[in-house]
Structure 1
Amino acid sequence: METKNETSMFKKGNYRFGRIVIRIPVSKYSLNENVISAYLPYIMRMHASNVADYMHLDMVYRGNSNIWQKERQFVDDASEKMNAIVEEGHPFSMVEFKKGYMYGDDVKYSCADDTMCTDDITIINRYMKSQNKSSKNVEIAQDVYVAGSGNRIVLPKPLGIDYDISRDAPFDIYNLEYCNSFIVYSSNFTKEKLFGGIITTIDSTDPNNVIYQLMIYDHMWAYEFYIGGNATGFYFDSGHFVKKIRHYIGICPFVEWRINKVRMGIVERVESLCDAVNTISSNSVDNVVDFVNSILVVYNQNIDKKAKKEVDQNGAMSLNTIDPSRPADAKYLTNLLNNADVNTKYEALVKVAYALVGVPQANTQTTSGGDTGEARLLGGGWARADIVAKQDEILLKDSEREMLEIVINICSKHPQCEINDIYASDIEINFSRTKNDNLLVKVQALTQLIQMNVPKEVALNIVGLVGDPHEVAHAWEDEVKKAQQRSLEMMQQKQSNPNKDDKQNNQDDLENKPKQDEKDTS
């Protein structure tokens, strides 16, 4: 380990272990501006701690990891010896894979169980498309996998804005910056969500006296506070209540996206492993450079700078042995790493890092003994990636359902919105990932379910054949109706001309009869 201080890079203070969940001992029914003001200093301190963690993890995701602290040992002048720093970017690769694997295809909504909500879901899907929800899901996934959680708020459209309710949503979805937003929960056994806050800079003309606006939303009111601070941040013990406004949403409009209870992202879980991998790569480059620039040692021979310069120019040197008992010789002084052992440790660290977060390695070959169906998933870590993704889906679906509750509450209170008979529990949330494995088995299961008169959308949900069961079921039903309509038209046409076929058959017989008579005569 070639570092000036072996603990400078790998000390515990350089790493993070999940975010603080902000909790206060009150219930949502006892909230008011006085209660919030009393707990505001504590809330802001906890939020500042989470922001510090987020900024560190975001820098690691960008490539500014601890490896940049590496220094060569026993070298006073850094210019005398090369200090290679190789940052391989594994956290970035892992986060990008998770974003694409979970949200590369948009999340779709369909009917859960046997509920009849197809029309309402069609409208909700249209509203989500108008809000560019697919791209916003990818954005919030980055905060989730980097920082462990991401915040979102859903608000009604402001009054006075003209829009077509049949195409445009009566609400707006905003992904909130992690550094400027927080959510507070109750510390009682219910762990209910109390309120969320958004921090905005409203006056920064004087760097020593910056004014921040803090908007807090609970299930009934929107509170406005002013917080003092400077250019580096706000003061924890400052908070001046300005006013509060009643909102009609009925629930707290904040939603937190997360993948585990402790709000831990994948970057912090593998940061120390990635530091070790970067150290091995960096020191390997240093070792190669040192080997190329090895020191020439001459035995029993005097050599000056001029002679050394001639050796460098000619690529050879002549040595004369004066004393046979002390033969002249020249050798390079090298310290070469055992590449086989180094590569073995390197690959082991990389494998552990990717396995911990459920990300398959791009350069890993399939070793499951097959190339189709479940066999393909077993190779290269894809089976584990699918297992971890299914676990992530559980909490991500909870967040989606919380958002749908807010959306439905807003839509149900709009006088012109057609959504009025649906609940969040009626909606099935579908993550579109890998759907083509075991295709034949899924088709056979789907055929059996349809023969049992299971609704098509429910059957598609059960077998997991497509990513959007709602749209596929609609298209399926349309094709069935078209086929039934064609059959009905043909039947009606036949009933309106009952003798048409008989007359046509008689006419054919008359036309063919002369030909038959001619044949008999001949």
Structure 2
Amino acid sequence: MGREIIVTSESEVTEKNLPLILQRAFTLHNKNRREIQYLRNYVRGKQPILERKKEYREEINNKIVVNHAYEIVEFKKGYLFGEPVQYVQRGDCEFTEEDELTENKGVAALNEYMHAENKEAVDAQIAEDMHVCGTAYRLVFPKENLSRREEFIDEAPFMLAALDPEYTFVIYKNDPAKTPLIGVNYAVSENLEGKKCIELVAYTKSKVFRIGAESTDVLATDASVEAQVNGAGEIPIIEYPLNPSRMGCFENVLPILDAINTAQSNRMDGVEQFIQSFVKFTNCDVSEEQFKRLKKDGALVIKGVPGLPADAEIMAESLDQDQTQTYVDDLYQRVLTICGVPDREASAGGNTGQALKIGQGWTSAETRSRSTETVFKRSEMQMLRVVLSILRSVNPSKVAEDLKKLRISDIDIKFTRNNTDSLLVKTQGLQNLLEAGVHPRIAIAVVGLFSDPEQVYQDSVETLEKWKKTEASEAPAEAITPSNNKTTDEGALAGVPLVQEGA
């Protein structure tokens, strides 16, 4: 299970060795592609139960799809990416006399750029690909040759897009860090003659390679390769794996989901077979015409002989629905537990908010989401490197100076979930942090009240002035300097009261 990572031992990519690298890479990519197609079809409802065959009473063969895979994917997407992913300022957060609470606004401007390019919609597609396919891909590329009108409408000098994982892959160096070496995207189409054509684009940090050929000629070692300079200086295709194994969020419970479908289909078969039960005739010969009259009129007259009484009865044996439901419920609970999805009907034996969160599985869901966040942030940082490289390469008059100065170390990625839960507790916590001297930018980001904490901070700079540091003259009196006596100081550090000699 999981998608295979594609690696190569080549350290440099040229027009000559690229076809050979691709030829080896497509072997693993085609395997990953088949698995991705299967998982996508599974979520859409095309599941193995639809191919079910029965050896006994083939006419009663119900095929019920209980699409828990779709349920799991939708929950994971909504819980983790229900609110837009935002960037907050991480460094350079000191108060100064000249510029109080108005630090570098580059992060806020970056958020505006992302909003202008509709990053939320791209993230939604990436989230679905991550949870279904186990991996997703984003493309970041600069806008070129824009007219003045387009520059006015499109504020950001870059564009974002989600690439189809069936036709995209990244080749990594075969080193411990698995450094990205080539980003590949291709499209398959038909020409006017009805032949399949492949158009492939491969990106390295220094070059952009293009290959166009019919059928699988793109993988031929003598394929014609066109090379151009990569102006961005970074690989614009970034992979977003869901986890290190690149496994879909429901992939490890596929056998259990198939068992649930089988159980539900058998239950429906049991109901239908009970209604369409066989009729058993004892010591009587019933013709086909008589049996048709029986089905039509609902009654039949039969005669027996002495010593051999005649009888007719329905052979009906119903399925124990209670035991079947217990079995199905057990399978469903195992699916929720393994996938980290809450069960809204469960309880921890108490009615407090915290007890319900633990008993219903919300605490486990939060833990799983934080693990996914960690993997997502690594790819997002790689994407930001491409964005900052593009911002530094465009005309300086089109990009704010704050954005030019922005560094990766200045940016932190913020996920917001349940921002209205425990509202009173969060607002009180925000006040306590501010009163304790925590920088307002950090305090606003920590409490989780706002989907865009950086913009909230920028909009609240003036009202947050009162939380700046007090002047040195207003500082509390200095603490008494500890004694130079080593024994006494060690006792104080150990929590032992200081005792004067001779006391």
Match in the other structure for 2:70? 92
Q: Is the 8 A contact 1:26 1:188 kept in 2?
A: no
Q: Give SS of 1:453's match.
A: coil
SS in 1 for 2:186: strand
Structure 1 CA distance for aligned equivalents of residues 327 and 218 of structure 2: 47
> In structure 2, what is the Cα distance between the partners aligned to 1:166 and 1:292?
66
Secondary structure of residue in 1 paired with 2:64:
coil
Query: Structure 1 residue 421 and structure 2 residue 378: aligned?
Result: no
What whole-Å deviation, never above 9, does each CA across 1:310-364 have from its counterpart, x for those lacking one? 43344344555643x5444332112322212211111111121222222234xx4
Q: Residues 439, 83 of structure 1: CA spacing in aligned structure 2 closer, same or farther, 3 A cutoff?
A: same
Indicate yes or no: 2:143 matched with 1:138: no
Residue aligning to 1:183: 170
Say whether residues 1:346 and 2:333 are aligned partners. Answer: no
Residues 99, 138 of structure 1: 8 Å contact kept? yes
Which string of whole-angstrom CA distances, capped at 9 and with x for unpartnered residues, describes residues 425-480 of structure 1? 21121112223444444333322221122111201223333332212223333444
CA distance in 2: counterparts of 1:413 and 1:332, whole angstroms = 83
Q: 1:175 is matched by which residue type in structure 2? A: A
Tell me the distance in 2 between the aligned counterparts of 1:371 and 1:165: 55
Paired position in structure 1 for 2:80: 102
Alignment of structure 1 residues 278-289 onto 2, 5 Å = 278-289=261-272
CA contact (8 A) 1:299 1:329 kept: yes
Which residue in 1 is equivalent to 2:435?
A: 451
Match of 1:174 in 2: 161
SS at match of 2:78: helix
- Give 1:490-509 correspondences, 5 Å limit: none
Q: Is residue 397 from structure 1 mapped to residue 377 from structure 2 by the alignment?
A: yes
Identity of aligned residues (%): 27
Q: Distance between the aligned counterparts of 1:206 and 1:275, measured in 2?
A: 43
1:123 aligns with 2:109: yes
Alignment of 1:219-234 (within 5 A): 219-229=205-215
- Give the match's secondary structure for 2:451: coil
- Tell me what 1:53 maps to: 35
Partner SS state of residue 16, structure 2: helix
State the one-letter code of the partner of 2:280.
Answer: V
Q: 1:448 aligns to what SS in structure 2?
A: helix
User: What code does the residue aligned with 1:102 have?
Assistant: L
Could you say which residue in structure 1 is the equivalent of 2:246?
263
Q: How far apart are the structure 2 equivalents of 1:268 and 1:182?
A: 20
Q: What is the RMSD of the two structures over their aligned residues, measured on CA atoms?
A: 2.5
Equivalence for 1:83: 61
- In the alignment, what sits opposite 1:3? none
The letter for the 2-side match of 1:301 is C
Q: Greater helix percent: which structure?
A: 1
For residues 196-236 of structure 1, give each alpha carbon's deviation from its aligned partner in whole angstroms, at most 9, with x where no partner exists: 0111347622334x33222111111111223431xxx6664
Cα distance, 1:115–1:479 mapped onto 2, change above 3 Å: closer
Matches of 1:32 and 1:236, distance apart in 2: 15
Tell me which residue corresponds to 1:112: 90
Residue 137 (structure 2) aligned to one of 141, 145, 151? 151
CA distance in 1, matches of 2:65, 2:415: 33
Displacement, 1:372? 5.3
SS of alignment partner, residue 233 of structure 2: coil
User: Larger radius of gyration, structure 1 or 2?
Assistant: 1
Give the CA deviation at 1:23.
Answer: 0.1
Contact 1:435 1:464 in 2 (8 A): yes
Q: Contact 1:374 / 1:438 at 8 angstroms: preserved in 2? A: no
In structure 2, the CA distance between the partners of 1:113 and 1:329, relative to structure 1 (3 Å rule), is: farther
Cα distance in 1 for residues equivalent to 2:155 and 2:189: 30
* Residue matched to 2:364: 384
* Structure 2 counterpart of 1:446, one-letter code: L
**Residue aligning to 1:472:** 456
Please identify, of 437-446 and 412-421, the stretch whose mean Cα deviation from structure 2 is larger: 437-446
* Counterpart Cα distance in 2 of 1:237 and 1:457: 55
Shift of 1:192: 0.5
- Give yes or no for contact 2:253–2:335 (8 Å, CA) kept in 1: yes
- Residues in 2 aligned to 1:357 and 1:204: alpha-carbon distance in whole angstroms: 44
Q: Does 1:460 align with 2:475?
A: no
**Distance in 2, Cα, partners of 1:181 & 1:405:** 20
Q: 1:368 aligns with which of 335, 339, 348?
A: 348
- Deviation larger for 35-44 or 399-408: 35-44
Shift of 1:147: 0.9
Which residue of structure 2 aligns with residue 336 of structure 1? 318
Task: State TM-score, norm by structure 2.
Answer: 0.84
Q: TM-score, normalised by structure 1?
A: 0.81
Alignment check: 8 A CA contact 2:91 2:409 kept? no
Unaligned runs of 5+ in 2: 95-102, 468-503
| Residue 239 to residue 373, structure 1, CA distance change in 2 (3 Å) | farther
Shift of residue 285 of structure 1? 1.0
What secondary structure sits across from 1:270 in the alignment? helix
Q: How does 1:244-263 map to 2 (within 5 A)?
A: 244-263=227-246
- Match for 1:330: what amino acid? A
Aligned residues of 1:61 and 1:267 also touching (Cα < 8 A): no
Q: Does 2:20 align with 1:38?
A: yes
Measured against aligned partners, the alpha-carbon deviations of 1:2-40 in whole angstroms (never above 9, x if no partner) come to xxxxxxxxxxxxxxx11111000133xx33222323322
Structure-1 residue corresponding to 2:51 = 69
Deviates more, 1:458-467 or 1:111-120: 111-120
Structure 1 segments of 4 or more deviating over 6 A?
none
TM superposition shift of 1:306: 4.1
SS in 2 for 1:178: coil
Q: Work out the CA distance in 2 between the residues paired with 1:166 and 1:429.
A: 27
